[in-house]
Amino acid sequence: MKKLNKYYAGLFSILLKQLSKYERKADHETLHKIRITIKKIRSVFRLTGFCDKNFNERKHFHPLKKIFKDAGVIRESYIAGKLYEEYGINKETDNNNLIYDNEKRMEDISGFIKNTKRNCKVVYDKYFDTKQYPGNVSEECYYEYFINRQTELRNLVFPDLIEAKLHNARRICKEITFLVEISSNSEKKTDPFFDKLQVMIGEWHDKIELLKLMSYDDKNITENKIKELERSIGSEVSSIKELINAFYLNSN
């Protein structure tokens, strides 16, 4: 697939620019885009590994995984802070253990920035180490994998939705949307269902993580705040189920 080669090279070019941009100005939006670009590269690795058994996607992704995780630590702190505000939790007095203090967060950001040159070299080297493999992916294998992903998602969430599998379902939703970007058919569009579902699962996941953090020090977090969050999580799950059922029942 010629378009896959071009798409693959473009992702690495974009990632290098994003890392350099974050070095100049550490804003959350750029950090978020860095993580999305790495997820897209991982999707190409998975597609390539499916179509070329000589390609070890886990091995090749490993160097990029550290960059992804380091960025994730900073993102989690940012998201938790937003949720504290939403639920009226004073992180200064309600619970000092819920989130990295500001000093720790700044250390994480500073460390990520200091590693920019190393991270850029990792990205650069990984592209040249793997650039020959996406060319082995045929149109037929691409579509086989694309259908495979959609089938796996359906089996995960329908007709019975298990909350423990939602995180994996979100990963597949994102991969489906990324795969459409690769298609040589410019008219091909992803059904809005996949993007909407992954956003809803993401919001559910963030609240689940906040609830776990709140439970570490329940003497300072009021029961009402915990119950409010639990109700919101329950409502999120109900909405996710409604969206899934409506999509797949109408698809039959």
Model confidence pLDDT, tens digit, residues 33-81: 999 999 999 999 999 999 999 999 999 999 999 999 999 989 888 887 7
Q: Which pLDDT band holds residue 102 (cuts at 50, 70, 90)? A: low
pLDDT of 100 > 60? The answer is no
The percentage of residues in the chain with a pLDDT greater than 70, rounded to a whole number, is 88
- pTM for this prediction: 0.88
pLDDT for residue 221: 60
pLDDT for residue 98: 46
- Which domains does the chain carry? 2-251 (1.40.20.10)
Average pLDDT for 107-128: 95
Q: Mind listing the pLDDT tens digit for each residue in 205-248? A: 988 888 877 765 555 566 777 888 889 999 999 999 999 999 99
Mean pLDDT of the chain, nearest integer: 87
pLDDT for residue 215: 63
What sign results for the dihedral spanned by CA atoms 94, 103, 17, 52? negative
